[in-house]
Amino acid sequence: MKFSKTLIAASLAFVSADSFAAAFQLSEQNASGLGRAYAGEASIADDASVVARNPALMTLFKDKQLSVAAIGVIPDVSLEGEGAPTGIDQSTLDDDSIAPSAVVPAAYFTMPYNDKVSLGFGAFSNFGLSTDFDDDYSAGQIAGKTEIFTVNLNASVAYKVTEKFSYGIGLNVIYADATIVRHLGTTPLPIPDQTEVVNLEGDDTGYALNIGLMYQLDENSRFGFNYRTETDITFEGTYSNQLPMTDFTPQGLSGTELPGSVDITLPAIAEFSGSHQLDEKLGLHYSILWTGWSSFDSLEAQVTAPTGDKFSAFNKDESFSDSYRFAVGSDYQYNEDLLLRAGVAFDQSPVSQDHLSISIPDTDRFWFSFGGNYTIDQSSNVDLGVSIIRGKTQNFEEDGFEFESEGNAVLIGAQYNYKF
């Protein structure tokens, strides 16, 4: 049924975008970088979290390093209805909180194996978020509940070629889990608005490599580069709906579960960074990060019927574009124990105006960040960081509904570092 296929397409479009789009591509692998808007992440060797952004930097540590971080994400994503199909009050489309808060944890360990080789391990996340609409939301066919959860386990090794140049390589094992629920919404059908028309759950494990380079120009300037390969993910699980099997809903399953799968590709990521110590107190850092969203051009869902035959539930054009993130930041050694940080960033959206959705009201974003590091003793220190993210207001149309969306967020992070 066209109706059901549209629902599945909208649902899965959000899974991909939620896990791919710049709005939902997580930068929050540590709290130390949060305070400078993640400027200089491929060139700064603050702590063991270098495993996530450039493993080559591990060769700069003379001791074992342990870092544990948690970043709270407090989104403020709202929608206002600007137009609706005949018979639907556009004010019922208003929703002032479609994205719940979340905590992004991370942990890292690095150690020098000898004077040339260093090893590192990390557990963090690069992609994921959640949106949740009321079950009886009027535009339930394109709304509902969507959750994407990923865990990246990384093992890295770095080699110091000379005192100025090092390289590193890491193997990433990525576990991804997704849940998508969509409801009928307001329709002429004699079926309750909150009826589930899509319930899709699936998970998979994928693999990727990241390669890092580090060049120490002199004692005050360092450059870094990191490249992360694409990751193929096949969400395999179950698909069901609560629609009755009638002449109006011939694809109704009444809760029966069928095998379903969706193939997606987590994009490649490349980052170049520079760090410069301007004097004994002030440092300057910058980064350019590229994400290869153009590899994500369409979505197709496969469902296996009770007969064993497979059919394509939909094939939806996405046509994402590659995007860039630009960041500049600084740190200032206020005194022997306290280091202050600040930074700004511009995060470009890969989603064109024609492909915006209420499940992913994506937009370009500006980051305004500040934070610091406090030394507890010779072996331990703590990082605190805050980022205020502001997005542009967007107006768009989707399946006959017209919306105005606004997306902002506040990130608050803390991290404990220990060397031994």
- Model confidence over 364-418: pLDDT tens digits? 899 999 999 999 999 999 999 999 999 888 888 888 889 988 888 999 999 999 9
What stretches of 85-144 adopt beta strand conformation (E)?
Answer: 102-112, 117-124, 129-132
Q: How many residues does the chain have?
A: 420
If one compares 258 and 158, the residue with the highest pLDDT of the two is: 158
- pLDDT(360) > 80: no
Kindly indicate the confidence band of residue 121, based on its pLDDT and cuts at 50, 70 and 90: very high
Q: How many domains does the chain have?
A: 1
- As a whole number, mean pLDDT of residues 167-195 equals 90
Q: How confident is the model at residue 224 (pLDDT cuts 50, 70, 90)?
A: very high
233 or 357, greater pLDDT: 233
Query: What is the residue whose two structure tokens read 């990525």?
Result: 174
Burial of 123 per CB tally in 10 Å (0-12, 13-18, 19+): middle
The per-residue pLDDT for 13 is 35
For residue range 285-307, list pLDDT tens digits in order: 999 999 998 887 776 778 888 88
Rg (CA), the chain: 23
> According to the model, what pLDDT value does residue 99 have?
81
Question: Residue 152: its pLDDT value, please?
Answer: 93
Contacts 24+ apart (CB under 8 A), 351-355: 351/17, 351/21, 351/320, 352/319, 352/320, 352/321, 353/394, 353/396, 354/319, 355/318, 355/319, 355/320
Q: How confident is the model at residue 62 (pLDDT cuts 50, 70, 90)?
A: very high
**Quick one: CA torsion of 188, 190, 195, 198, rounded to 10 degrees?**
-60
CATH number for the domain including 321? 2.40.160.60
The pLDDT value recorded for residue 35 is 95
**Per-residue pLDDT tens over the stretch 235-293:** 899 888 888 887 777 778 888 888 988 888 888 999 999 999 999 999 999 999 999 98
Report, as an integer, the average pLDDT of 189-216. Answer: 92
d(CA 120, CA 146): 33
pLDDT at 361 > cutoff 70: no
Question: Which of these, 302, 299, 303, lies nearest to 256 by C-alpha position?
Answer: 303
Q: Residue 317: which pLDDT band, with cuts at 50, 70 and 90?
A: low
Please state the separation of Cα 97 from the chain's center in Å. 19
| pTM, to two decimals | 0.88
Tokens of 250: 């011939």
323-350 per-position pLDDT tens digit: 999 999 999 999 999 999 999 999 998 8
Is the pLDDT at 318 greater than 80, yes or no? Answer: no
Q: Which residues contact 35 (CB under 8 A, 6 or more apart)?
A: 329, 341, 342, 343, 369, 370, 371, 372, 383, 384, 385, 386
- Residue 86: partners with Cβ closer than 8 Å, 6 or more residues away: none
Q: How far apart are CA 361 and CA 223, in angstroms?
A: 35
The single-letter DSSP state of residue 130 is E
The domain of 204 spans 2-419
Q: Which of 8-17, 39-48, 68-77, 186-195 has the highest mean pLDDT?
A: 39-48
pLDDT band at 23 (very low <50, low <70, confident <90, very high): very low
Which of 249, 132, 142, 141 lies closest to 179, judged by CA?
A: 132
Q: Which residues pair with 120 in a beta bridge?
A: 110, 156
Beta bridge partners of residue 12, listed in sequence order: none
% of the chain exceeding 70 in pLDDT: 92
| Phi/psi-derived region of residue 9, left when phi > 0, alpha when psi is between -120 and 50, beta in every other case | alpha
Is residue 30 exposed (0-12), middle (13-18) or buried (19+ Cβ within 10 Å)?
Answer: buried
